[in-house]
């Protein structure tokens, strides 16, 4: 139970066309990537910007910048089937972040990445949070979660079991 407010607006009261507009403010990193297999890496990352109606010259700049941040600048023309699982995950992360969403939801975003790359991706999420994006990450990687030193909510079958402050994680 509760209320979800985004930019002081109760999402339970959003109706009709406004729902789609609010969804544009949410970036989602899926555990299974959800990439468009017939499209290039560039096109997959550009998708939220195209939907938002951004001019193509701005899309190009943003997409290339984001691909560079996730280490895939050289793979922009590749199809998802030509990428490793970790690279596919980074494409999904870039797509979720490229629109500078108000909220980023990430389901096991580092599950298919090596520890070094996982740490780099978490730094990207941290930078996004510093820019004002609310970042929610679902993860089973307790070590990674502890290193973030952010508030941790422990859920079990949808029930809140614990609420751990960043200070408590440092101990």
Which of 84, 112, 101 is closest to 136 using CA atoms? 101
Are residues 41 and 80 in contact, defined by beta-carbon separation less than 8 angstroms? yes
* Confidence at 76, pLDDT banded by 50, 70, 90: very high
Which pTM does this prediction carry?
0.84
Residue pLDDT, tens place only, 10-49: 888 999 888 888 888 899 999 888 999 999 999 999 999 9
Indicate whether 114 pLDDT > 70: yes
Joined tokens for residue 38:
């017939």
């Amino acid at each position: 139970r509760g209320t979800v407010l985004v930019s002081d607006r109760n999402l339970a009261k959003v109706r009709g066309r406004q729902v789609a507009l609010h969804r544009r403010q949410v970036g989602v990193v899926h555990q299974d990537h959800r990439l468009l297999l017939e499209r290039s890496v560039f096109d997959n990352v550009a998708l939220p910007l195209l939907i938002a109606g951004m001019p193509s010259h701005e899309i190009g700049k943003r997409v290339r910048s984001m691909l560079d941040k996730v280490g895939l600048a050289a793979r922009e023309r590749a199809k998802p089937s030509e990428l490793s699982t970790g690279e596919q995950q980074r494409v999904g992360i870039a797509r979720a972040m490229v629109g500078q969403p108000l909220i980023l939801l990430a389901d096991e975003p580092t599950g298919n990445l090596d520890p070094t790359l996982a740490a780099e991706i978490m730094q990207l999420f941290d930078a996004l949070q510093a820019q004002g994006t609310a970042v929610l990450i679902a993860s089973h990687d307790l070590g990674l979660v502890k290193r973030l030193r952010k508030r941790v909510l422990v859920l079990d079958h949808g029930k809140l079991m614990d609420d751990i402050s960043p200070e408590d994680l440092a101990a």
